[in-house]
Structure 1
C-alpha cells in the first residue's frame, strides 16, 4: 500500500507541474522510469508487484497509446514519458484504466469546464491558467491522467 501511495504522490507532483507550467521536468518522468526499470531488473517485479512480462506488456501498450498522439501533436513528450514510467511501475490494468479514466475526465471537463471555471477562486485560476477551458490551446493531459489513476485505484482496491 505504501508503494501505491508513493506512486500517487509522484503522479500528483507531475500533474500539478504540468497543469501549472505545461511541462514536466525530465527528472520526474525519466527519473521515475529509470527507477521503475531498475526496481524491475533487481527484484523481478514491477513497483506494484506484477511480473516482468506484465510490465513489458504495459510498456508496449503505453507506447502504442501515446506515440500516435505525440506524432499528431495531441500529446506532449512528457505525457509519453509519464505513461511509460507508469507502465514500468504497474501493469496493464492500471495503465489501461488510467488512460480510459483520463479520457472520461477530459470529456467531463469539456462538458462542464466553461460553467465551472468562473466559480473557481481567482488564485487557483491564475496558477493553473493552462487548464482554462476558454483557451484554444490544448490542455495539459497529465492532470486528467491523475484523475484516471485515482479512479483506477478506487476501482481496483
Structure 2
C-alpha cells in the first residue's frame, strides 16, 4: 500500500512536470514534509527502512541533484522531489530510481522521434515538454517515475 501511495504522489508530480515543466511546492515540499513527519514519528521511512537509512538517502539524493542544479541542468523542484523521495524510501531505492531515470531518459531520447509522430494530438498537447525537439529541456519527474517503477520491479 505504501508503494502505491508513493507512486500516486510521484505520478502527480510527473504529470504536472510533463505538462508545465514545473512542479508546485505543495507536491514536492508537501511530500517531503509528510515523509519527514512520518520518519520522525515512526522511526522508519514510509517504505519501512530505518530512519538512519532515510537520512543517508536524503544526503545521497542531494549529492546526485545539487551538482545538476548548480550547473543549471536540473530545476529546484527536481532537487526537492528527489529529497522527498529519499525521506520516504532508502538509499537503494534512491540509487535505483536515479539510475532508472537516467536509462529511461536515454531510452526516450532515442525512441521519442519515432513514437511522437504516432501519438494523438491531445496526448502530445498534454505532454508538450516531452517533445523530442525539446530534448535539452526534458522534464525530470516523468523519468523519476519510470525509474521508481523499475526499482520496485527489481527489488520485488
Report if TM-score (shorter chain) is over 0.5.
yes
- 2:9 and 2:135 mapped to 1: Cα distance? 29
TM-score by structure 2 length?
0.98
The structure-2 alpha-carbon separation of the partners of 1:23 and 1:122, relative to structure 1 and needing over 3 Å to count, comes to same
Q: CA deviation at 1:71?
A: 0.7
- 1:87 and 1:14 mapped to 2: Cα distance? 15
Name the Cα RMSD after superposition.
Answer: 0.8
Note the residue ranges of structure 2 that are not aligned, 5 or more in a row: none
- Partner residue of 1:118? 117
Q: CA deviation at 1:127?
A: 1.3
- 1:137 and 1:125 mapped to 2: Cα distance? 18
- Partner residue of 1:97? 96
- 1:78 and 1:60 mapped to 2: Cα distance? 16
Aligned residues: 156
Secondary structure of the structure 2 residue equivalent to 1:23:
coil
Q: Is the 8 A contact 2:78 2:140 kept in 1?
A: yes
Following TM superposition, where does structure 1 have runs of at least 4 consecutive aligned residues deviating by more than 4 angstroms?
none
Q: CA deviation at 1:135?
A: 2.3
- Partner residue of 1:83? 82
- Partner residue of 1:35? 34
Q: CA deviation at 1:147?
A: 0.4
Note the residue ranges of structure 1 that are not aligned, 5 or more in a row: none
- 2:119 and 2:51 mapped to 1: Cα distance? 43
